Structure 1
Amino acid sequence: MAVTDITLDRAYLAAIWLETLFYGMNIVLFSSCLYVLIARRRTPRVNRYLVGIAVLMFCFSTCHVFLGFYRLIMGFIVLRNQPGGPAAFFSDVSIPANVAKVGLHTVNSIVGDSVVVWRCFLVWGRSWKMCLIPMLLVCASAICGFGQTVYFARGQKYHSAFAPALVRWNGSLFSLSLATNMVVTILVALRAWHMLRLSGGAAGFRYFKILIIIIESGMIYSVALICEVTLYFLGLNSFYIVYDPIGQLTGIVPTMIIILAGLELTSNDVQSRFSRTQQLSLSAPRFRPGNTTTTDGSTAADDARSIPLDTMQFASVDSTFSKRKSAPGLAVDKFDDPELGETKTVLITPLDERTAE
């Protein structure tokens, strides 16, 4: 069955509309990220590295959407009467604005993938072994991305991104980026699920755990890359509808990860808080209204449910009358009871008080 496709100019128009929508989300997330890292930080100093990464990705995303609008105006307004119309304009991949856009997309993808790999590094207890393959994939993606940019700049004779000479570079870049995110997604998701599973929790917390795993592992970005790679190798213009918004997702997903880290809501933070709570509950004595705490940490009510009545120990009479020793007009005396073989304590009322009665 033949796959129905749309024209290039319509695909680009839909792509820029979606990218603008995602850019609005990016603005909100970027503002929230700065607020969390600066105004609401939980450390004495501002984490300059995270702030710098967030600002860098937002600047690249802003330039990307700006170049998209520039191409939109040039294709549909300024050069609309040129031979071939807007479709011919958008098919020319060697236009400087398009080359710059591709370069920015590559850099933003590398930074975003690096943040996801960094998250994987932290989730796995700062283990370089678990992140070795993703790091190599990121380096390979960078090589293919910059090589793609060079070929686009020299591609005056290519009037399509699906030209055979460009498919090698584009296909390699998209495949490596997808492989990077899939590997990291699986590694982070497995580790995060294992750590959050230790926290237990009610049904409401389970949904929160799923949300953390989706964001922390970059699963949203991986799904978008799957759609991008599929549409590209099918040779459909619908590929552009996914390709341009991904330029914003490369900044949105890492920014969400940074916000989670700043709010201490990552899987590491949840699990560590749960561990501290368990340690405190085990080490601290438990006090309940109306109950006494035994030496092993259990309450008297707990013991009453588990220990037979004939083996329970009761407080001696001495402890009952010890509080009344200092009461005025009262005296305490002790004597041995030969029948019971124990010492008994009695309360003696002074003679003058008995006389008064």
Structure 2
Amino acid sequence: MTQPSIVSVNLVTVALESMLYGVFLTLSLVSFYILISRASSQSGHTRLSWSPFFSPVMFGSVAITLTVTAHWILTVVRLFDAFVHFDKGQAALLYYADLALTTEVVKTAFVVATLIISDILLVYRLWIVWGRNYFIVAIPTLTVVGLLIAGPGVVYQLSRLDASSSVFVSNVQRWISADYSCTFVTNVYSTFGIAWKVWRARPPGGKSYGGGNIQRVIAMMIESAALYTSWAIFFFAAYQADNNIQYTAIDTLCPIAGIAFTMINVRVGLGWAQRAHSSSQISSGIASRRYAEQSFAMRPVAVDITQVVHKEDDLGQPINTRDGDYKV
């Protein structure tokens, strides 16, 4: 395989990451809008409920948005440094080859931070789906801890490289391999753990609450994981082959991780919107029926609620399931 130059792969990175960042930013804004709209509708449009803003998923969404945005900004900054500021733009190759520069080290730190946050939130979702079962998240928790150790290790090793060294040296390679292994195991294990639990918990006929097909939930999780995992495999294969295209793969892995995370938020949010629309139609029908019944004399109605079960989703929103015995 022909080895592309470092300058070429970095120019491709700027174009590709900018496109992916645009996709991520759109999905992120939509997910925030859906969350705020849902909080407003649940509070009856009288007072905004702040509970969704204090959930782990909300904090994670904000953090990922910040890290992905900061990474893209540094990519653009390095482009101007290489072709305008550094040696008056006459030594772009030397600039991009020096991996110990502060901008490159900080940019790598934002990649690591994005991967860590994404993996933590995925394990959190697995924990929620399995009914807060600590045993089921033991393995991915260990891999996240491994990523918390290996991630900063990569950043530290890059900061110690001299201008003549490359990212393929053994000291860096060990840490990068550890990073890849940890995040790969976390994503595969957690995704299939969530999909398996959702599949096993399906009601007869495979229909979820609100009439949607439960296979869509499983497909949503697998599609999101497949996007991220396939890109991670692409990066690791290029890195093991000592190909410079790995620079593009690792830099674009940051927005890819953000897209994979926000895809779930948006599609779940759209499901909330559908249920809210259905609920409003049902409420309108009940109101019309009550108005008609008020024209006639009615006997007292006794309502005996025998059981109330309170649940919460992973955004901290209440889900009330009532098993009532009504008699007239």
Per the TM superposition, whether the score is higher than 0.5 is yes
Q: CA, structure 1 residues 87+157, in 2 after alignment: closer, same or farther (shift >3 Å)?
A: closer
Instruction: Give CA deviations for 1:220-240 in whole Å, capped at 9, x if unaligned.
Output: 211111111111111111112
Distance 1:257 1:240 in 2: 27
Instruction: Give CA deviations for 1:248-303 in whole Å, capped at 9, x if unaligned.
Output: 122222222333444556xxx9xxxxxxxxxxxxxxxxxxxxxxxxxxxxxxxxxx
Distance 2:77 2:67 in 1: 15
Instruction: Give CA deviations for 1:172-197 in whole Å, capped at 9, x if unaligned.
Output: 11222122212222222333344458
- Residue 102 (structure 1) aligned with residue 100 (structure 2): no
Distance 2:204 2:121 in 1: 25
Q: CA, structure 1 residues 167+126, in 2 after alignment: closer, same or farther (shift >3 Å)?
A: same
CA deviation after TM superposition for structure 1 residue 128, in Å? 1.4
Q: CA, structure 1 residues 34+231, in 2 after alignment: closer, same or farther (shift >3 Å)?
A: same
Q: CA, structure 1 residues 119+39, in 2 after alignment: closer, same or farther (shift >3 Å)?
A: same
Distance 2:195 2:215 in 1: 14
One-letter amino acid of the counterpart of residue 191, structure 1? K
Distance 1:243 1:166 in 2: 14
Whether the 8 Å contact between 1:161 and 1:167 is mirrored in structure 2 is yes
Q: CA, structure 1 residues 159+33, in 2 after alignment: closer, same or farther (shift >3 Å)?
A: same
Q: Which residue of 2 aligns with 1:255?
A: 262
- Residue 231 (structure 1) aligned with residue 238 (structure 2): yes
Q: Which residue of 1 aligns with 2:321?
A: none
- Residue 122 (structure 1) aligned with residue 128 (structure 2): yes
One-letter amino acid of the counterpart of residue 213, structure 1? M
Unmatched runs of 5 consecutive residues or more in structure 1: 270-357
Distance 1:171 1:263 in 2: 37
Whether the 8 Å contact between 2:99 and 2:163 is mirrored in structure 1 is no
Q: CA, structure 1 residues 81+259, in 2 after alignment: closer, same or farther (shift >3 Å)?
A: same
Q: CA, structure 1 residues 22+195, in 2 after alignment: closer, same or farther (shift >3 Å)?
A: farther
Distance 2:266 2:164 in 1: 42
CA deviation after TM superposition for structure 1 residue 143, in Å? 0.7
Distance 2:122 2:226 in 1: 10
TM-score normalised by structure 2 residue count = 0.72
One-letter amino acid of the counterpart of residue 257, structure 1? I
Q: Which residue of 2 aligns with 1:208?
A: 216
Please point out which of 36, 42, 62 is paired with 2:34. Answer: 36
Whether the 8 Å contact between 1:29 and 1:252 is mirrored in structure 2 is yes
Whether the 8 Å contact between 1:6 and 1:237 is mirrored in structure 2 is yes
Alignment of 1:94-243 (within 5 A): 94-157=100-163, 159-195=165-201, 198-200=204-206, 205=213, 208-209=216-217, 211-215=219-223, 218-243=225-250
Instruction: Give CA deviations for 1:319-343 in whole Å, capped at 9, x if unaligned.
Output: xxxxxxxxxxxxxxxxxxxxxxxxx
Distance 1:262 1:193 in 2: 20
Alignment of 1:202-351 (within 5 A): 205=213, 208-209=216-217, 211-215=219-223, 218-264=225-271
Distance 2:8 2:76 in 1: 14
Q: Which residue of 1 aligns with 2:13?
A: 15
Distance 2:170 2:131 in 1: 43
CA deviation after TM superposition for structure 1 residue 198, in Å? 4.9
CA deviation after TM superposition for structure 1 residue 89, in Å? 1.6
Q: What secondary structure, in the 3-state scheme, does the structure 1 residue paired with 2:17 have?
A: helix
Q: Which residue of 2 aligns with 1:58?
A: 65
Whether the 8 Å contact between 1:103 and 1:149 is mirrored in structure 2 is yes
Instruction: Give CA deviations for 1:56-82 in whole Å, capped at 9, x if unaligned.
Output: 211111100000011111113333667
Whether the 8 Å contact between 1:123 and 1:191 is mirrored in structure 2 is yes
Distance 1:198 1:236 in 2: 51
One-letter amino acid of the counterpart of residue 72, structure 1? L
Unmatched runs of 5 consecutive residues or more in structure 2: 44-48, 276-328
Q: Which residue of 2 aligns with 1:86?
A: 92
Q: What secondary structure, in the 3-state scheme, does the structure 1 residue paired with 2:136 have?
A: helix
Distance 1:207 1:19 in 2: 32
CA deviation after TM superposition for structure 1 residue 98, in Å? 0.5
Whether the 8 Å contact between 2:220 and 2:264 is mirrored in structure 1 is no
Higher relative contact order (CA 8 A, sep 6+): 2
Q: Which has the larger radius of gyration?
A: 1
The root-mean-square deviation of aligned C-alpha atoms, in Å, is: 2.6
Whether the 8 Å contact between 1:171 and 1:233 is mirrored in structure 2 is no
Q: CA, structure 1 residues 247+213, in 2 after alignment: closer, same or farther (shift >3 Å)?
A: closer
Whether the 8 Å contact between 1:36 and 1:259 is mirrored in structure 2 is yes
Instruction: Give CA deviations for 1:24-80 in whole Å, capped at 9, x if unaligned.
Output: 011111111111111233644331123332122111111000000111111133336
